[in-house]
Amino acid sequence: MPKVKIGVFDSGVGALSVIQAIQKELPELKTIYKDDKTHVPYGTRTIQEIHGFVRPIFQEFIDEDCRVIVVACNTVTTNLIPQLRQEFAVPMVGMEPAIKPAAKATKSKVIAVCATPRTLSSQRYGWLKKEYAQDIKVLEPDCSDWALMIENNRVEHDRVAKTIEDVISQDADQIVLGCTHYHWIEALIKEVANGRAEVIQPTRPVIIQLKRVLQQLS
């Protein structure tokens, strides 16, 4: 019996951490991974540009008989997933900043969201804050060059550490990783936080949602 195919997309290397988690938990799936190294990073591009980049890639997933597409890119999910769902008749599992669990877990009532400028300016992100973090102070440090640093394997540890120290000094006790690229420096961020703040990223909820969607297909 052939394996069920799913597509996983991210602009660059970010989604590889998500794929590893999916393959560990759901080894019966055949995972097809596509990225867009030509145009990475997406976080500072216009929505129209990003849509033009991803549309042919998503069509490739359809042409290759993927039953589900995991959009392992916060920028694409928060800005374009409603439109992409209309354009392609295939279930999509998105990845977006984990505002809800961070707001629920914070004791200081201050959280930090590390994300791209395009994610932070999206309507979806604004809705997440309004819906789940009304009485929470949300810090949004400038992480605009992190994805490129990670993509080029030139992580400037001191700059990342300074950003994390800054949000912790402002009482953030939850740090949300709102870009899949940042999963690759999660260990560094946790080391800097040193128990003073919890680091949250959404791979686990994505796998849970993927399982739900696959059950509905079977």
The residues carrying an active-site annotation are 73, 179
Residue 195 φ/ψ region, left for φ over 0, alpha for ψ in the -120 to 50 degree band, beta for the rest: left
DSSP helix/strand/coil, 197: coil
DSSP one-letter code for 172: -
- Residue 10 is encoded by which pair of tokens? 């991210």
Query: Kindly report the CA angle at 71 between 66 and 72, in degrees rounded to 5?
Result: 120
Locate tokens 């953030």: which residue? 172
Q: Which of 93, 87, 85, 80 is nearest to 123 (CA)?
A: 80
Residue with token string 């877990």: 105
Question: What's the CA dihedral at 197, 128, 92, 82 to 10 degrees?
Answer: -150
